[in-house]
Amino acid sequence: MIKADLTGKWALVTGGASGIGLATATMLAQMGAKVAINHLEDDPAGPARVAELTAQGLDVIAAPGNISIPGNAEAMVEAAIGAMGRLDYLVNNAGTSGTRDKIPPSELDKMTEDFWQLLLNTNLIGAFRCAHAAATALKENRGAIVNMTSIAGIGQQGSSIAYAASKSALVSLTRSLARGLAPEVRVNAVAPGQTKTPWTENWPEERKQWARDLAVLKRRSDPEDIAEAVLYLCAGASMVTGHVLVVDGGMTL
């Protein structure tokens, strides 16, 4: 694990109750940061994870709210900043595929209006809402934003047409925000390959093996592998902005 001293820094991680979000929140807190963990208001996993990390001596607080809902996302960010007193890092990790199974590109009828709206509101517009609400606080502290895209956003198929499109748009948003919030705030993205999370662990074994076979490092990513990339882009990389860091073990080589 890479090391950094984040004492005195405050971070907000959306979708932080499980998987990559939880690994990221944990790693930032282990490095000395105080971390607000966003989770859905009705998700018991959020308070449970906050309690567990607090018991480990880490400085974390809960930040309930749904980033896919206009107004709710902004209120969550504002409440978190109010509770912390400042904000140095925003990790836009919350996202959804909207489906447990892959939807082949040929099945256009499954790309309904409701499906599109769910994915765009969560994966793309939700990230913008949070960045917009956090911009002033991040500028004051010359902070950083890291958006969680996917290799589906850089040319891979992904779970559906809508998912890939939402993640591709998040890459574009990352670059636009990097221009718009410069020079005070750096904005980058991480594009994971297949990662061991509660969502992917229910996938068929052949789908997991396909990812291992495709990756030149011959394994699937752990959430901590992705969290390390986020830590690097938050705490280091002082001349890196508008960049997409691919963390996939070589799946896209």
What DSSP letter does each residue of 220-250 carry, written as one string? PBPHHHHHHHHHHHHHS-TT--S-EEEESTT
pLDDT-derived band at 196 (thresholds 50, 70, 90) equals: confident
Binning pLDDT at 50, 70 and 90, where does residue 173 land?
Answer: very high
102 phi/psi in degrees, rounded to 5: -60, 140
- In the numeric block, which tokens belong to residue 235? 């705490």
In tens, the pLDDT along 92-143 reads 999 999 998 899 999 999 999 999 999 999 999 999 999 999 999 999 999 9
163 is catalytic: yes
> Distance between CA 95 and CA 167 in Å, rounded?
9
* Pair of tokens at residue 113: 């209006």
Beta strands at 186-192 and 244-247: parallel, antiparallel or unpaired: parallel
- Give the tokens for residue 175: 């670059």
β-bridge mates for residue 191, sequence order = 246
Angle at 12 between CA 9 and CA 14, to 5 degrees: 160
Mean pLDDT rounded to a whole number for the chain: 95
Q: What is the pTM of this model?
A: 0.96
In the chain, the amino acid numbered 194 is Q
Alpha helices in the chain (DSSP H): 19-30, 45-55, 72-84, 113-119, 126-140, 161-180, 205-214, 223-235
**Domains along the chain with CATH numbers:** 10-247 (3.40.50.720)
What pLDDT, in 10s, does the model give residues 200-222? 888 788 888 988 998 999 999 89
Mean of pLDDT values over 70-84: 97
Residue positions counted in the chain: 253
Nearest-angstrom CA–CA distance, 110 and 161: 10
Residue with tokens 């895209």: 149
Opening angle at CA 3, ends 31 and 5, nearest 5: 45
- Find the catalytic residue in 163, 186, 197, 241: 163
**What span, in angstroms and rounded, lies between the C-alpha atoms of 39 and 35?**
13
Q: Sorting pLDDT into bands at 50, 70 and 90, what band is 21?
A: very high
- Predicted local confidence at residue 157, as pLDDT: 83
- Joined together, the tokens standing for residue 218 give 């011959």
